[in-house]
Chain A
Amino acid sequence: MTATATSSEASPTTGGGAASGNPPRPRHRVGIVLLWLAIVLVVVIGGLAVWAAGQTSRSGQHDRSPVDPSETGAMALAQVLGQQGVDVTITHSFWETEVAVGDGRDVTLLVDDDWWVLTEEAYASVLNLSQHLIVVQPTDVGLEQLTPGVEYAGFGGGELPADCDLPAVQRAESVNAGGDAYTAPASAERCFASGDDGYGLVRIERGSRIVTLLGLGEVLENQYVTDSGNAALALGLLGEQPKLVWYQPDMDDLAFDDANSLASLQGAWFAPLVVLLLLVGVAAAVWRGRRMGAVVVEQLPVEVRSSETMEGRARLYARSGARDHALAMLRSATLARLARTLGLGRSATPEEIIGATAALTGRDPAALTALLRSEPAFDDRGFVRISDELLRLERELGRAVRPS
């Protein structure tokens, strides 16, 4: 023990002075760097994994997408069009489309709203974009806006011969595809009649604009494009003009609001301000979060509340209603205290104690025996009463013994 005492005496002077000279702890630093590297690695790998999983999944992909090589995609058609010298631009938002179409001359605009996101205003705006508009399987709202008088007539399709004068249709001779059919007024060019009064392809001239409704969407798909004259029809329709804008609207166009969008109302400073405020938040977190040195830990000694055993036993008695057991405890404690008050030795029997108590207090020995030995408690009230009786007896004996 003397050794410990001297070492603790010495440490403030020698140990403190020597150790403060070379403070850096390289192993600690290396550990922190390794930790950060590990975190970065985990984030990068996680990101790659999510990206790779997204590649194989079809969620979030359009049907008849010109970049999708799968069966329901339309990549084959887009590539052949490109080889034929048609300039194909793929767009997913109205703003992109507006930019890609430009002045709208010599451009075919293909609108394929397979997610049904375009609103009434959006269709109205689309109509104004281009002179040549091809709409693939539009919604009812779209039909109303683009081609008034044309109505949806159920499913159509099958092996259909060319039955109108459109050059593309004539070249195709026949098609074999499924899709929607539309009724149309006689003034319109109606092709590929199927069933009663339904046509798979309808072309309407609205002023200087030509709107073509393509109900047989399957002619564009990779899996059917080679059937019958499907390819000829698709190439003929889409390759009419030297430029093709292939517009498949994404979810963002749901919030289509003609020229009155939120972004147009913001000042140029809005985005930088938001970034700045984010930076302020991060800086404040760093400012408050940077500790002045490590937290000092300390081992605290074990401490147990002492009366816990007693409390536990009391709860146990109470829960199981062990009145007899509890009474036995109270009685033997009272007997011991009575014996001490009477000056009887440790070896005194209960009968002797009861006899002496009865003699001093003038109580009935039989009643005392019942109270101190046998009287049972039938309920909690009786239990409390007997306990009170015992205390009263102790006090009474105390008074009787005390010299007046």
Chain B
Amino acid sequence: MAISGWFVAVLALGAVPVVLLGGWPGFWVWLGLLAAGGALDALLAGSPAGLRVERTVPARARLGEPVETTLTILNTGRRTVRAVVRDAWQPSAGARPTRVAVAVPSGERRAVRTMLTPTRRGELRAAGVTVRSGGPLHLVSRQRTLRAPAALRVLPPFTSRRHLPSRIARLRELDGRTSLLIRGQGTEFDSLREYVRGDDVRSIDWRATARRRDPAGGGAKLVVRTWRPERDRRIVLVIDSGRTAAARIADEVRLDTAFEASLLLAALATRAGDRVDLAVYDRRVRGRVQGATGAQLLARMVDVLAPIEPELIEPDWRAVPGLVRSITPHRALVVLLTTIDAPGAAKPLLAMLPELTRRHTVVVASVTDPDVLAATAVRGASDEVYRAAAAERALLDATRVAAAIRRLGGDVVTGAPQELPPALADHYLALKAAGKL
């Protein structure tokens, strides 16, 4: 039950009969009339209990893109239901409109459309559908909340995919279609072709040139070998979802930056023919993608990453080598997406690192805070100089940790939130070009 503003207004109008009829008689007459009207209204209102609701919600949506959901209301009651319907979603689903007036005649169905504009990735849930069915006098309405559970998985936005075309172009340059200037250990023989100007003279295959010698005379045609980058290498992405991942840097949480970077790297690596596996880990595995390739890989990754939020706990680095071993027994490129900003906090990571670097190529990727870098240059008043000193201290700490990681055989990639994903992709391309995978 709910009363309307009309009910209140009519009640207030009772002042007229109270004064005119002289006190209590007018009061009771008016109250009686209003009560009778209210009861009649409630009786004549269509029953919301006779309504059946059904939702049509897409299973997935990308963050920042609006989604349309449909709520179908079927009236199994005998009377027409004129109601205001509230389709309740979590606040961060950004549901619009929140209240819809709808009239459903008996035995018919009507659709209510709700646009969702999610402001946060993760699993968004719909609560009940509340129906407030009003009577013909607009005094009283009957209200009921119908259960209609639904969920929408909002996927990470993957805004860094704009860097993908340029990186894929670079990947093609590494491919056999152009002769490589640098020849690494891991490159594989692809084919033989005629020498053109600009090719590396070291790649001339003299034996093949001798074989190609034209019997009909003429000039010697030099033959070069072409190389292509190695394929079917393993890449293991380990994302740290511990307490440092909850830090917000330049309007983006560290964990989200790590997701962006790993999505870009995975998209690139799967194009290059490498196999990518992913684990999100703090003290236990929060999410895992293994054995997926091609387009399926990215779909699986965003699906797994979507509901993961940072936990306020210290990650357990000792178990990471075991985790990597469980993902692949082979040599792999292990990318640890974590934070390196304090020597004290990085100790467990550094202690574990030799075990990984012994078998694998290890890259540690970390987000740096552009605010800290900016603070080092602002030195007007003494307060600002103290701040600059603190910022320098933070940078020196990070540098020390990075140096320690390099000493232990790992690589370090750092960057501001917008720059880390392409920087990591570039580092991967550099490793690939050098055949270090």
Residues in B neighbouring A9, C-beta threshold 8 A: 59
The yes or no answer to B328 lying at the interface (CB within 8 A) is: no
- CB distance A336 to B399 under 8 Å? yes
Digitize B49-83: 1 where CB-to-A-CB distance is under 8 Å, 0 elsewhere: 10011111101000000000000000000000000
A302→B310 contact, CB < 8 A: yes
Question: Which residues of the partner chain B approach A272 to less than 8 Å between Cβ atoms?
Answer: 18, 23-24, 26-27
The reply on A279 being an interface residue by CB < 8 A is yes
Contact yes or no, B390 A317, CB < 8 A: yes
A271 within 8 A of B: yes
B44 within 8 A of A: no
B149 contacts across to A, CB distance below 8 A: 11, 15-16, 19
CB distance from A91 to the nearest CB of B (A): 27
Q: Select one of B53, B99, B127, B382 contacting A16, CB under 8 A.
A: B53
- Chain B residues whose CB sits within 8 angstroms of the CB of A317 once the complex forms: 386, 389-390
Tell me the nearest residue of chain B to A272, going by C-beta: B27
Known contacts being A283-B3, A287-B7, A329-B392, is A307 close to B385, with CB within 8 Å?
no
CB-contacts of B260-295 with A (<8 A): 287-289
Q: B151: CB under 8 A from chain A?
A: yes
Residues of B within 8 A of A275 (CB): 27
Nearest CB in chain B: distance from A10 CB, A = 9
Q: How far, in angstroms, from A275 to B153 measured CA to CA in the complex?
A: 54
Contact in complex: B146, A23 (CB < 8 Å): yes
Looking across the interface, which residue of chain B has its beta carbon closest to that of A290? B2
**In the bound complex, what is the Cα–Cα distance between A383 and B381 (angstroms)?**
10
Partner of B396 from A284, A293, A302, A329 at Cβ < 8 Å: A329
A33: CB under 8 A from chain B? no
Q: How far is the CA of A48 from the CA of B311 in the complex (A)?
A: 53
Contact (A313, B56) CB under 8 Å given A275-B27, A283-B7, A306-B254 = no
Partner of A333, one of B23, B129, B376, B387: B376
A306 touching B11 by the CB < 8 A rule? no
A290 to B132, CA, bound (A): 11
Kindly identify which residue among A24, A284, A311, A388 contacts B387, using a CB–CB cutoff of 8 Å.
A311
The answer to whether A23 touches B304 (Cβ under 8 A) is: no
Contact residues, B332-350 vs A (CB, 8 A): 341-342
Q: Is the CB of A276 within 8 A of B15?
A: yes
Q: Tell me how far the C-beta of A222 lies from the nearest C-beta in chain B, rounded to whole angstroms.
A: 44
Q: Tell me, in angstroms, the Cα distance from A33 to B351 when the chains sit together.
A: 60
Determine if A318 is an interface residue (Cβ-Cβ < 8 Å): yes
Q: Does B84 contact A (CB under 8 A)?
A: yes
Residues of A with C-beta under 8 A to B99: 292
A302 to B382: give the CA distance in the assembly, Å: 34
- A43 part of interface (Cβ distance < 8 Å): no
How far apart are the CA atoms of A269 and B16 in the complex, in Å?
10
Contacts of A381 in B (CB 8 A): 382
* A residues near B249, Cβ cutoff 8 Å: 306
When chains A and B are docked, how far (Å) is the Cα of A380 from the Cα of B379? 12
Do the beta carbons of B150 and A296 come within 8 Å of each other? no
Interface hits, B23-37 → A, CB 8 Å: 23-24, 26-27, 30-31
Please tell me if the beta carbons of A1 and B300 are within 8 angstroms of each other in the complex. Answer: yes
- B147 is an interface residue with CB less than 8 A from chain A: yes
Partner of B310, one of A20, A296, A301, A310: A301
A1-B304, A287-B5, A332-B396 given; A310·B387 CB < 8 A: yes
Residues of A within 8 A of B173 (CB): none
Task: Find chain B residues with CB under 8 A from A336 CB.
Answer: 396, 399
A304-343 interface code vs B (CB 8 A; 1 in, 0 out): 1111011101110110000001110110110010000000
Which of B86-94, B199-207, B318-326, B421-429 is near enough to bind chain A?
Answer: B86-94
Please choose the segment from B186-194, B226-234, B367-375 that sits at the chain A interface, where 4 or more of its residues have CB less than 8 A away.
Answer: B367-375
In the assembled complex, the CB of A204 is this many whole angstroms from the nearest CB of chain B, namely 46
* Chain A interface size range: 35 or more
Is A53 located at the chain interface by the 8 A CB criterion? no
The reply to whether B248 and A292 form a contact with Cβ atoms under 8 Å apart is no
Q: Are A296 and B23 in contact (CB under 8 A)?
A: no
Q: A293 and B150: CB pair below 8 A?
A: no
CB of A303 within 8 Å of the partner chain:
yes
CB closest residue in chain A, given B249: A306
A50 at the interface (CB under 8 A from B): no
Verify B383–A318 contact, CB threshold 8 A. Answer: yes
Q: How far is the CA of A387 from the CA of B49 in the complex (A)?
A: 75
* Residues in chain B near residue A12, CB distance under 8 A: 55-57, 59, 150-151
* Interface presence of A273 (CB below 8 A): yes
Question: With A and B bound together, what is the CA distance between A36 and B382 in angstroms?
Answer: 63
Q: Which residues of B contact A301 (CB under 8 A)?
A: 120, 122, 246, 253, 309-310
B172 at interface by CB-CB < 8 Å: no
Q: Mark A53-85, 1 if CB is under 8 A from B, else 0.
A: 000000000000000000000000000000000
Complex Cα distance A23/B289, Å? 39
A252-301 contacts to B, CB under 8 A, are: 267-273, 275-277, 279-280, 283-284, 286-287, 290, 292-294, 296, 298, 300-301
Say yes or no for B393: interface residue by CB 8 A criterion.
yes
Question: A30 within 8 Å of B by Cβ?
Answer: no
Residues A307 and B399 in contact, CB atoms below 8 Å apart: no
CB distance from B418 to the nearest CB of A (A): 15
CB distance from B32 to the nearest CB of A (A): 13
B88 vs chain A, min Cβ distance (A): 5
Can you list 24 residue pairs at the A/B interface with Cβ under 8 Å? A11-B149, A11-B151, A19-B149, A23-B144, A269-B23, A272-B23, A276-B11, A276-B18, A287-B4, A292-B84, A294-B127, A294-B145, A296-B91, A301-B310, A302-B310, A310-B369, A310-B371, A310-B394, A311-B387, A318-B382, A330-B385, A333-B376, A333-B392, A384-B381
- Residues on A lying within 8 angstroms of B by beta carbon are 1, 5, 8-9, 11-13, 15-17, 19-21, 23-24, 267-273, 275-277, 279-280, 283-284, 286-287, 290, 292-294, 296, 298, 300-307, 309-311, 313-315, 317-318, 325-327, 329-330, 332-333, 336, 346, 380-381, 383-384, 387-388, 391
